[in-house]
Amino acid sequence: MHIYINGKYFDKDEAKVSVYDHGLLYGDGVFEGIRVYNNRVFRLEEHLERLYESGKSICLTIPMRMEEMAEAVIETVRRNGLPDAYIRLVVTRGAGCLGLNPFTCAHPQIIIIVDKIALYPQEVYDQGLKVVTVATHRNYPESLNPRIKSLNYLNNILAKIEAINAGVEEAIMLNSYGLVSECTGDNIFALRRGVLLTPSISMGVLEGVTRNAVIQIAREKNIDVKAVVMTRHDFYIADEVFLTGSAAEIVPVIKVDGRVVGEGVPGPVTRGLMEAYHRLTRSEGEPVTRVGKKNSK
């Protein structure tokens, strides 16, 4: 495995950052999770736009133009030779002092990891997932806007712990008003009477790249899609429910807080969207070739 750090490549065991890096000390940084399908990087530009917007929002200047970052991502994929892979692109604040002051960090760190990922076994996609609502609320937008994809994921991890302790693999998180926001690592959708519903961005939702792709696919299929205010009741009475995320892709949900969704199996609309998403991801994206610029190790 070849890992990119600040313009150089290292083997996995040799890839290191300073223990004084504020990404490690305080979760001070931003990241993206990106997929590669059939030697194509899916929606790289959209991911990079969100990365740079997240950096700007936290006053973190990424020391590389977006075009250069795109080439670095593609070159790292080339070097690892995986036609289907997961990319973790991380930008930390860099090494500084032990205090909170981020302006002691002179050089942000850019890290690109390319590896395989499988969040759920195949039977989850075939048979569906059970989820529960947890007590841990989504971060308040006034304190840490969920649209910033930051390295500080403790909020999500605590919710994930609650889900696992409840005997399921994923959790629905509410916002400070008790309204549905999203899951620990995925956006959530519900189909009701032919209308596809998902919590609006104002509910404390990360504007997911996969979320946007699914909305696009659904509208191309003439499915009415609405981003609205949603409560748990909307998911209890839904005909179908599913989750979306770059790592998870589209995951059907068959039970919410002990309530069976629809017929208790992945529904036809969900399956149709899964098939369409599979086709889209294998046909669209930045192509990865075996010929790229040579970077020093």
Active site residues: 149
What letter would DSSP give residue 261?
Answer: P
> Phi then psi for 246, rounded to 5 degrees?
-60, -45
Alpha helices, DSSP H only, in the chain?
A: 22-26, 44-57, 66-80, 122-127, 154-165, 209-220, 232-236, 268-281
Cα separation, 252 vs 255, whole angstroms: 10
Instruction: Identify the residue whose tokens are 């990922």.
Output: 117
56-75 burial, b for 16+ CB within 10 Å, e for fewer? eebebebebeeeebbbbbbb
Alpha helices, DSSP H only, in 81-153?
A: 122-127
- Amino acid 154 reads L
Q: Characterize the bridge pairing of strands 286-287 and 109-115.
A: unpaired
Cα separation, 214 vs 250, whole angstroms: 9
Cα separation, 222 vs 204, whole angstroms: 27
Residue 140's CB is within 10 A of a number of other CB atoms, namely 13
Cα separation, 254 vs 17, whole angstroms: 42
Q: Name the helix (H) or strand (E) containing 3.
A: strand 2-5
